[in-house]
Chains A and B, each alone.
Chain A
C-alpha cells in the first residue's frame, strides 16, 4: 500500500521557539530573509509560527500557530494552476514543479492558509554559503511559487533506501526538517496508512481539529487543541 504522509501539530506543546523555521530554511535552500523582505511582506518561510494574542490586558496570552502547507486532499491551489505546476501525487503530497511554474500566482491567491510564497527576485546567498546549500533541493529562480514540500527529498531518499535494503525502518523513522528540529515534539510526521504510526494515533486524538474546516479542503495536517484550564470554554478565535 502506498504511503500517505501527514502531520500532527500539537499546539499545546508548541513554545513558539521557531526552531522549525530555521531548520526548514537550511534544509530547503530558502533564501535568507532580510529586513526588506519582512518590511515588504515578501519573506519566504515554508513553515512559520503565527503569533496571536488572546485576552485583554493584563490577562494576555500568546498563542502560537505553526503554519505550513496543509497538503490538502482537495487543494484549492491545484485546479487553478493553468500549467499543472502544482498537483497531487499518489502519496498525498501537494507537490510543486518549479520548472513548470509561469508565475500567475493564482495558487497563492487561492490558498486559504497563506502557505505559498513567490520569489519576487532571484535569491542571492553570500558566497561563503555556497557549500551550505542542500544539494538535494532545487534552488528556485525568480518568478516561481514555492511552498512546503514535506521535505520530499527526504521522503524520496528514505523510500529508496527502504526499497534497496528492504528495511522499513528507513520509512518509519523518516522526519522532515521541522519535525526533526522541534524540541518539544509538537510536530509529528508520519505515514497515515500505517495504523501503528504515532501520527495515525494523533489523528484520532480528542483534541484533533482541522484549520478552516468549513472550506472542505481535507488537509493532511491536523492540529491538536491547546489545553488551557484557565481559558474560557469557547474555542480560540484566530
Chain B
C-alpha cells in the first residue's frame, strides 16, 4: 500500500478550495460540452412541449420509451451516494473519506435529473403538478395511493430530501473554512450558509451524530426507492414485467451502475481539479473490489430473472425472454449489455494492476454504465412491445431524435451540475481529510511505514 502523504491543514485548505477561489481554463473547458448538451436538451424539450408527444417514437402499445428507461437509469445512479457514504460510513471504511461528497452530490443531481423525466414524459409538464401534489382539495379528490406512480414521487422526494440534508450537513464545516478564508461577497454568502459554525466540540459532536443517524435512516430509503421504481413495472399486468424479482434486481443493478459512475467521477475529479493527493490508486482499487462483488450479485439476478420464467413456464413470459435473448435487435443489445457490464470489466478488475490504472478504470466504468443503460432498455422495452396475446397490435418502438437528444442531455445536465457544484463547494470534504490526518497512525512493518487501519472510537469522534 502506498504511503499516505502527510498533509498539513493549510495545504489541505489550499488544494481543496482552490477551485472555489479561482477560475481556471480547464474548468471552463470542462463546463462547455455538458452545457452544450443541456442546451440541446432544452431545445428538444421545448419542441416536445410545443408539439406534443407526436415528436417522440412512442406508439401503441409501447406507451413508455426512452424517457422511462432513462428515468430508471438515473434513479439507479443515485444509489451510489448512499452506498458509498452511508454503508461505508456505518462500516467505518476509512477509504471512503475523499469520495463521499462527490457520491452524495451525484445522488442529488441524478435524482433531480431523474425527476425531470416523468414530467417530460407526460408531455404536459404543467399538469404533472396535479399528480405530484394532492390537488382538488375542495372536491375531496386526492391522488390514488394504489398507484405506483404515487409511491414514486413519495419515495424519490424522501430520498432527495435525505440526500440533500446529508450533503448539506457534511458541507457546513467546509463552508466555515471558505468563510474564514474569503473576503467580500463570498464571505457573506458562505458565512450565511455556514449557519454560524465555529467548530466547537458540541457542534462537531452534533455533526457526527447526525452523519451516523442519517446514514442509518437513509438505508431503508435506499432499498425502497429503487424497489418502488421497479414496482412501476412489477405491479402491472404486462408479462415479464410482472415479476417479483424486479425489486432486488433493480436495486442491485442500481448500485452497480451508481458505484461505477462514482469511479468515472473520481477519475474526472482527479484530472480536472488535480486531486492527486486525495484520490489515490488505492481508492480506485477499493471501489474496484467492491464492484466485483456487486456486479457478480447483479449477474446472479440477471440469471434469476430468466430462471423464474423458466420455472413457472408461463407462455407469454417465455416469449418475452426469447425475444430478449434471440430476436433482433435485443439479441445484440443483450450481448453488448452482458459484455460491457460484466464480461469485460470484471476479469479486468480482478487484476490488481488494472484496478490501480486510473485510465483503464475510467474507461471500464463507462463501459459498465453503457451496459447498465442497455439493461434498463432490455428489461422495459421488449415486454411492452409484445404485450399480451393480441398479436395484431404488436409493434416495434423506435426512439426519435428528440427523445435521444433529451437522453443525452440528461448526462450533460448531471455533468454540468457537478462542475458547477465543484466551482462553489469543495468536492472533497476538507474537514474529513483533516480528520483523517488527525487519526492517521502508521506502524512499522519491516523497513516500511505502513498506515494502520483506523477505527474511530466514540471518544475520539467527540474530541
Q: Which residue of B lies closest to A142 (CB)?
A: B52
Q: Quick check: A50 and B390 within 8 Å, CB to CB?
A: yes
Which residues on A sit within 8 Å (CB–CB) of B130? 83, 100, 102
Q: Tell which of A52, A82, A103 touches B392, judged by Cβ atoms closer than 8 Å.
A: A52
Q: Which of B376-392 contact A (CB under 8 A)?
A: 384, 387-392
Q: Quick check: A41 and B395 within 8 Å, CB to CB?
A: yes
Q: Which residue of A lies closest to B397 (CB)?
A: A41
Q: Quick check: B143 and A41 within 8 Å, CB to CB?
A: no
Q: Quick check: B118 and A109 within 8 Å, CB to CB?
A: no
* Nearest Cβ on chain A to B229's Cβ, whole angstroms: 13
Which residues on A sit within 8 Å (CB–CB) of B54? 42, 120-121
Q: Quick check: A67 and B124 within 8 Å, CB to CB?
A: no
Q: Most chain-B Cβ atoms within 10 A of its Cβ — which of A52, A65, A102, A114? A: A102
Q: Tell which of A50, A65, A118 touches B53, judged by Cβ atoms closer than 8 Å.
A: A118
Given known A41-B60, A81-B144, contact A143–B122 (CB-CB < 8 A): yes
Q: Which of B149-186 contact A (CB under 8 A)?
A: 149-150
* Nearest Cβ on chain B to A60's Cβ, whole angstroms: 16
Given known A80-B148, A104-B131, A121-B52, contact A114–B393 (CB-CB < 8 A): yes
Q: Quick check: B124 and A212 within 8 Å, CB to CB?
A: no
Which residues on A sit within 8 Å (CB–CB) of B208? none
Which residues on B sit within 8 Å (CB–CB) of A67? 390
Given known A102-B124, A121-B51, A142-B52, contact A114–B143 (CB-CB < 8 A): no
Which residues on A sit within 8 Å (CB–CB) of B393? 50, 114
Count residues of B near A (Cβ-Cβ below 8 Å).
43
Range of interface residues on A (Cβ < 8 Å): 35 or more
CA distance A120 to B63 in the complex (A): 11
Q: Quick check: B127 and A143 within 8 Å, CB to CB?
A: yes
Q: How many A-B residue pairs have CB under 8 A?
A: 130
**Interface presence of A13 (CB below 8 A):** no
Q: Which of B405-460 contact A (CB under 8 A)?
A: none
**Interface presence of A34 (CB below 8 A):** no
**Interface presence of A170 (CB below 8 A):** no
* Nearest Cβ on chain A to B391's Cβ, whole angstroms: 6
Q: Quick check: B52 and A112 within 8 Å, CB to CB?
A: no
Q: Which residue of A lies closest to B147 (CB)?
A: A82
Q: Quick check: B390 and A80 within 8 Å, CB to CB?
A: no
Q: Quick check: B238 and A103 within 8 Å, CB to CB?
A: no
* Interface of A, helix, strand, loop or mixed by DSSP: loop
Q: Quick check: B63 and A105 within 8 Å, CB to CB?
A: yes
Q: Which of A87-121 contact B (CB under 8 A)?
A: 100-106, 108-110, 112-114, 117-121
Q: Quick check: A238 and B61 within 8 Å, CB to CB?
A: no
Q: Quick check: B147 and A106 within 8 Å, CB to CB?
A: yes
CA distance A117 to B61 in the complex (A): 9
**Interface presence of A122 (CB below 8 A):** yes
Which residues on B sit within 8 Å (CB–CB) of A143? 52-53, 122-124, 127
Given known A41-B395, A81-B147, A109-B236, contact A142–B124 (CB-CB < 8 A): yes
**Interface presence of A215 (CB below 8 A):** yes
Q: Quick check: B53 and A120 within 8 Å, CB to CB?
A: yes
- What are 27 pairs between A and B in contact, CB < 8 Å? A41-B59, A41-B395, A52-B392, A65-B392, A80-B147, A80-B236, A81-B149, A82-B143, A82-B144, A82-B147, A83-B130, A83-B144, A102-B127, A102-B131, A103-B123, A104-B149, A106-B147, A109-B63, A110-B237, A112-B387, A113-B390, A114-B60, A114-B390, A120-B56, A143-B123, A143-B124, A212-B389
Sample of 17 further A-B pairs with CB below 8 A, known A106-B232, A118-B58, A121-B51:
A51-B392, A80-B235, A82-B144, A82-B147, A82-B150, A83-B130, A100-B130, A103-B53, A112-B387, A114-B61, A114-B388, A119-B52, A142-B53, A142-B124, A143-B124, A238-B390, A238-B391
